[in-house]
Amino acid sequence: MNRLISGIIVALAGAVPAIALERSVRPEPRPVIELAAASTSGVVLTGAQVPGVVRSIRPQIRGTVSAPVVQVADKAGFGTWIKGFRGRALAKGISPGTFDRAFRGVTYDPEVIKRDRNQSEFTKTLWDYLDSAASDTRIANGKAAMRKHGATLDRIEARFGVDKHVVAAVWGLESAYGTFRGSKDLVGSLATLAFDARRGAFFEQQLVAGLKIIQAGDVAPRSMTGSWAGAMGHTQFIPTSYLDYAVDFTGDGKRDIWSDSPTDALASTANYLAKFGWVTGQPWGVEVQVPDGFDYTLANRKVLKSPADWGGLGVKDMQGRVVPNHGAASILLPAGAEGAAFMIFKNFEVIERYNTADAYVIGVGHLSDRLRGGPTIKASWPRGDRALTFKERVEMQKLLTAKGFDTRKIDGKIGPLTINAVRRYQKSQGLVQDGYASLRILQRLR
């Protein structure tokens, strides 16, 4: 669970002392709108139904939102909408008292609609994103946070079996270790978005979930704060995910992800990852080197082999050794043959449940490795390349399809279908078939 300037800084008492200010860099997903696969020419993200939607003044990787522009709803009808929603909420188990307390003082928030509408494209290459996600400052702050909360993280790891460094890395990317949690009134924000026609059904679902959280006594109405789009707490859960996966790890009777203490939030994140199949002791991935003449068509998430079998094909770790047997793995080339290669395992897929962008998963994974004391990514990146714009991605798909390499969709999303079309085009041209949708490929297509 995408990132721009104009959020709200939350300078929270009791937050981990930062060596230097570092903001969240998570690729901010957008609720309901389908998330594009991270482009192999850079990080190009839209939204998804995943927990952790957050906005602050942190650097954000933004994507083109293809939803049609809709007129902002007439705020004069907001009060009428609340009356109608009250009946629907009560029918779903919300008590009159809870509803009235939650909506006391709530007004239409045009700033939320403005932010929802203002989704101009912002693209960033994977390597630039990783420079921020695992910067020296974020690593230093993360190590300080882990020292401060070490005993808690150890207990969480023992309870849920999820690597504490991964939990800390999610925390670091979601809220910069709790320093940017969002301060929007969630009932007001979600009600405004639910009243709005564009994605009303989704946000009404989140609003009902938020009212259930209040009714359970986990948080007071005005203390339930977060991002304008409904993400809450240290690790940015949306209300429905909170209901399903949040835990009371402190034993105080509340699942409190909003307070200065990150305990329940970190435990909830570990629980979330565990519920989606985290494999204890397995890495998210390992940086590898592929041999000259490697068949790049094998770099496909659907192609699974044991590390030993990959080793037989010449794929070794950065010290030239066969990767230990952590289970079935695939090879990921996020920047094509000229960038880093990773052997990724099931836990890559588990982190993906938190945010479906490859960039985010690699960011969490690499930051967790660095927090553990691991090395930087050793391979170079094609830093002379830039990310394609949305219009350029659409143009590439149209040109590929016109030349007989059907992408099946013209949507500006560089996913598996487009990558396969690029590979077929590369084969026809005698090029390396890495599926890398670069500007050079687009220029050649032109």
- Specify the range with the lowest mean pLDDT, choosing from 28-32, 68-72, 243-247, 365-369: 28-32
Interval 334-365: pLDDT, tens:
999 999 999 999 999 999 999 988 999 999 99
Residue 122 β-bridge partners: 62
Residue 183 maps to a domain: no
Q: Does pLDDT of 437 surpass 70?
A: yes
| 339 and 397 housed in the same domain | no
How far lies 329's CA from each of 71, 102, 108, in Å?
47, 48, 49
Say how many domains are in the chain.
2
Residues 327 and 358 in one domain: yes
Closest to 210 in 3D by CA, of 221, 198, 197: 221
383-413 pLDDT, tens digit each: 999 999 999 999 999 999 999 999 999 999 8
SS (H, E, C) 327-362: CCEEEECCCHHHCCEEEECHHHHHHHCCCCCHHHHH
Contacts 24+ apart (CB under 8 A), 261-264: 261/14, 262/149, 262/152, 262/171, 262/177, 262/178, 262/234, 262/235, 263/149, 263/152
Lowest mean pLDDT among 1-5, 93-97, 98-102, 272-276: 1-5
SS3 at position 303: coil
Residue 431 to residue 126: CA distance in whole angstroms: 23
pLDDT of 414 over the 80 cut: yes
Amino acid 120: pLDDT: 59
Please report the sign of the dihedral spanned by the C-alpha atoms of residue 145, residue 148, residue 151, residue 156. Answer: negative
Dihedrals phi, psi of 117, to nearest 5 degrees: -80, -30
Q: Which domain holds residue 426?
A: 390-445
Per-residue pLDDT band for 220 (boundaries 50, 70, 90) equals very high
Asked if residue 367 and residue 408 are part of one domain, the reply reads no
Q: With pLDDT > 70 as the criterion, what percentage of the chain qualifies?
A: 83
Same structural domain, 297 and 362: yes
> Has residue 295 been placed in a domain?
yes
299 with 360, same domain: the answer is yes
Same domain, 307 and 351: yes
232 pairs with which residues across the strands? 226, 237
The reported pLDDT for the residue numbered 123 is 77
| Residue 37 scores a pLDDT above 70 | no
Which residues, at least 6 apart from 103, have a Cβ–Cβ distance to it below 8 Å? 82, 86, 187, 191
Segment 11-31 mean pLDDT: 39
Domain check: are 396 and 359 in the same one? no
Helices 136-148 and 164-175: crossing angle, nearest 10°? Answer: 120
**φ and ψ at residue 285, rounded to 5 degrees:** 180, 170
Q: Are residues 414 and 366 part of one domain?
A: no
Confidence of residue 119 (pLDDT cuts 50, 70, 90): low
Q: Is residue 433 part of a domain?
A: yes
Report how far Cα 409 is from the mean position of its chain's Cα atoms: 24
Verify that 293 and 363 share a domain, yes or no.
yes
**305 and 364 within one domain:** yes
In a domain, 405, yes or no: yes
* Any domain includes 397: yes
Do 358 and 407 have their domain in common? no
One domain for residues 350 and 293: yes
Mean pLDDT of the chain: 86
Cα–chain center distance at 116:
18
- For residue 274, tell me if it sits in a domain: no
Contacts of 88 (CB under 8 A, 6+ apart): 204, 208
Which of 312, 343, 371 corresponds to the end of one domain? 371
Q: Does the residue 316 lie in any domain?
A: yes
Whether 319 maps to a domain, the answer reads yes
